Amino acid sequence: MARILIVDDSPSQLMGMKRIIEKLGHDPLTAEDGAAGVELARRELPDLILMDVVMPNLNGFQATRQISKDPSTAHIPIVLVTTKDQETDKVWGMRQGAKGYITKPFNEQALVKVINELLAAH
């Protein structure tokens, strides 16, 4: 069982992803914004992070950069799950250290596939 951190400011998105993670038999952790997500990632060292981009305080690109540049959390794969669907957003997200990119509204099978692939490679 993996511990997966979900960082999203939308309660409905948090609940939807939490349900999928629990269905897969994993343990979800949640944070409501990028700053809380970075702090929780450092404290809990989850196996995977699902990160929204458009959030208050610290956006998902900034949070991903902080997590992927910190030696204590750099090993944690991050998947950006966002409404930002432009190719430039995807390229920028991957440059910040993300290992995956899924656009909202997301397809549950696509999310499960990326979670399983990254956990297997981790």
Render pLDDT for 88-108 as a digit per residue (tens, 0 to 9): 999 999 999 999 999 999 999
Output the domain CATH number for residue 34.
Answer: 3.40.50.2300
Give the per-residue pLDDT at 122.
Answer: 72
Domain that holds residue 108: 3-121
Average pLDDT of the residues in 54-83: 97
Q: Quote the number of domains for the chain.
A: 1
Render pLDDT for 17-45 as a digit per residue (tens, 0 to 9): 999 999 999 999 999 999 999 999 999 99
The CA distance from 121 to 19, in Å, is 23
Please state, in angstroms and as integers, the Cα–Cα distance from residue 44 to each residue in 2, 5, 57, following that order: 12, 9, 20
